[in-house]
């Protein structure tokens, strides 16, 4: 049964203090059109345009929080609001913030959830698309790990184990839906150990934190506070996890198994999830306007290739079913220069052909009916190498479709360095299922 996308029914306003910055801030949540996703904007800056809450816009700053941003502005500590959107299954919303950090409120997502439920939801015409998790994914660093296993629903099993006398080990496992999130996850507050609180404040963090909005554990009990759940710290970790994973840009179904993971580990899983994101067709661009381009993260959503065998850095022009133009900057550190004429490095011609074919494959696989499939070589004809490609060159690939059928495609490709033609070939490939 198909599900419809949804947004909030009306504007919602919040005021509070940033838990790290200690600065007052106002936030406005606004309904957003179908397909627009979750976006954030700095309302206090005249030149700040909204950006999507997705992996490529994550700002890797100080730990214990998650931030989005551009080269010009940042918004910190977004995880509790992102968890609210994820837990209540809100597809589209615009978040306007007049400062650098979201308010800490009571240290949980409780106030966000209550306000959103009071405002209500607006069902939209567009259908919701889930990422298709087809294989297990893992990330492990020292004694922390996070795994995502294919499943028919979303669930989380989390183990909190600090191996510290101030906080006993905790475990919580649950399916995730709107009711479970609102009742059993959203009100779990942020926490730290007593010695951590002292260290964080010495480092300049936690300026807006206090014993009401932060559980500070000493000898396995919160100082001057009482628990909402016996395993509240573990549940808060699940809330952070749900907020961070929604930065993959789309809902998914799977069983999340994690131990000791924090924001850094969560965001490593987000990078893996981003590769599974189902691109909404209108986002592909079809015909890219002047100045627009698909960067590497967008390319990885379409092509199955990965390092060191992904040879297209950017798609700068694309016309549906007809033509594509891609680019690749050839770094002196490319792996193939180590053994291909050492002392006189030249890019192997077969890799130039592969890059041309990847551009053609991107054009074919960006069609809705081909999403998640793979393009295999069938034949290569009329190959000519005109000029050598050297370290530091920038290749431009121009690929035109000769013919396209349901399961096969044929393209004519040319590679240029500047205005010089360096290689050309006709490539034919088959489009097949990936499983």
Per-residue pLDDT of the chain (435 residues; tens, 9 = 90+): 579 999 999 999 999 999 988 999 999 999 999 989 999 999 999 888 899 999 889 987 666 899 999 988 999 999 999 999 999 999 999 999 999 999 999 999 999 999 999 999 999 998 898 887 878 888 988 889 999 999 999 999 999 998 899 999 999 999 999 999 999 999 999 999 988 887 777 776 778 888 989 999 999 999 999 999 999 999 999 999 999 999 999 999 999 999 999 999 999 999 888 766 654 433 333 344 445 567 776 787 788 888 788 899 888 888 877 899 999 999 888 888 888 888 899 999 999 999 999 999 888 887 777 777 888 888 999 999 999 999 999 999 999 999 888 788 899 999 999 999 999 999 998 888 866
CB distance 346 to 373 below 8 Å: no
CB distance 416 to 398 below 8 Å: yes
CB distance 78 to 102 below 8 Å: yes
List of residues 6+ apart from 145 with CB closer than 8 A? 138, 139, 258, 259, 260, 261, 265
**How would you list the strands of the sheet with 191-193, edge to edge?**
191-193, 215-218, 221-222
Residue with tokens 């070939």, as numbered in its chain: 425
* Residue 115: closest CA among 93, 99, 134, 130: 93
Q: Which residues are annotated as a binding site?
A: 80, 236, 240
Cα separation, 257 vs 158, in Å, equals 6
* Residue 429: closest CA among 411, 408, 412: 408
**Catalytic annotation, residues:** 263, 340
Give the domains, in start order, of the chain with CATH numbers: 4-126 (3.30.230.20), 137-274 (3.30.1700.10), 281-433 (3.10.129.10)
The two structure tokens encoding residue 16: 């509070």
Angle at 373 between CA 426 and CA 289, to 5 degrees: 70
Q: DSSP for 86-118, please give it.
A: HHTT--BEEEEESSSB-B-TTSSSHHHHHHHHH
CB distance 98 to 230 below 8 Å: no
* Residue 299: closest CA among 285, 71, 399, 267: 285
CB distance 273 to 252 below 8 Å: yes
DSSP SS3 for 141: strand
For β-strands 38-42 and 93-97, DSSP reports them as parallel
The reported pLDDT for the residue numbered 357 is 92
* Dihedral in degrees, nearest 10, Cα atoms 148, 149, 153, 155: -50
Q: Which residues are annotated as a binding site for Zn(2+)?
A: 80, 236, 240
* DSSP state for residue 184 in the 8-state scheme: I
DSSP SS3 for 355: helix
The whole-model pTM stands at 0.67
Q: Name the E strands within 73-196.
A: 74-75, 93-97, 121-127, 130-131, 137-141, 144-150, 155-160, 170-175, 191-193
Measure Cα distances from 159 to 21, 84, 144 in Å. Answer: 30, 22, 10
């Amino acid at each position: 049964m198909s599900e419809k996308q949804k947004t909030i029914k009306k504007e919602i306003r919040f005021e509070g203090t940033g838990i790290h910055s200690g600065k007052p801030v106002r936030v406005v949540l606004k309904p957003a059109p179908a397909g627009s996703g979750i976006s954030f904007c700095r309302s206090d800056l005249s030149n700040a345009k909204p950006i999507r809450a997705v992996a490529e816009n994550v700002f890797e700053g100080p730990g214990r929080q998650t931030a989005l941003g551009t080269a010009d502005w940042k918004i910190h500590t977004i995880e509790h609001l992102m968890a609210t959107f994820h837990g209540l299954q809100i597809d589209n919303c615009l978040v306007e913030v007049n400062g650098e950090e979201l308010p800490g409120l009571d240290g949980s997502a409780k106030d966000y959830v209550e306000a959103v439920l009071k405002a209500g939801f607006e069902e939209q015409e567009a259908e919701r698309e889930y990422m298709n998790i087809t294989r297990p994914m893992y990330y492990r660093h020292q004694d922390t790990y996070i795994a995502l296993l294919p499943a028919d629903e979303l669930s989380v099993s989390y183990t909190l184990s600090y191996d510290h006398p101030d906080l006993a080990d905790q475990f919580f496992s649950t399916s995730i839906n709107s009711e479970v999130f609102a009742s059993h996850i959203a009100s779990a507050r942020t926490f730290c150990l007593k010695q951590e609180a002292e260290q964080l404040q010495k480092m300049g963090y936690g300026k807006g934190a206090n014993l009401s909005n932060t559980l500070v554990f000493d000898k396995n009990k919160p100082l001057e506070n009482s628990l909402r759940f016996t395993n509240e710290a573990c549940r808060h970790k699940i809330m952070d996890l749900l907020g961070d994973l929604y930065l993959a840009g789309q809902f998914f179904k799977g069983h999340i198994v994690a131990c000791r993971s924090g924001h850094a580990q969560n965001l490593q899983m987000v990078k893996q999830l981003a590769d599974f994101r189902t691109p909404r067709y209108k986002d592909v661009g079809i015909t890219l306007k002047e100045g627009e381009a698909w960067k590497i993260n967008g390319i990885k959503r379409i092509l199955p290739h990965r390092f060191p065998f992904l040879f297209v850095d950017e798609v700068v022009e694309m016309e549906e079913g007809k033509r594509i133009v891609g680019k690749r900057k050839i770094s002196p550190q490319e792996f193939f220069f180590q053994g291909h004429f050492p002392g006189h490095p030249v890019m192997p011609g077969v890799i130039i052909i592969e890059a041309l074919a990847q551009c053609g494959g991107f054009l074919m696989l960006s069609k809705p009916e081909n999403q998640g499939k793979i393009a295999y070589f069938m034949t290569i004809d009329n190959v000519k190498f005109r000029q050598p490609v050297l370290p530091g060159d920038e290749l431009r690939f121009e690929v035109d479709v000769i013919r396209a059928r349901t399961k096969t495609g044929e393209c004519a490709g040319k590679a240029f360095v500047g205005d010089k033609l360096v290689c050309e070939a006709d490539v034919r490939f088959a489009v097949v299922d990936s499983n």
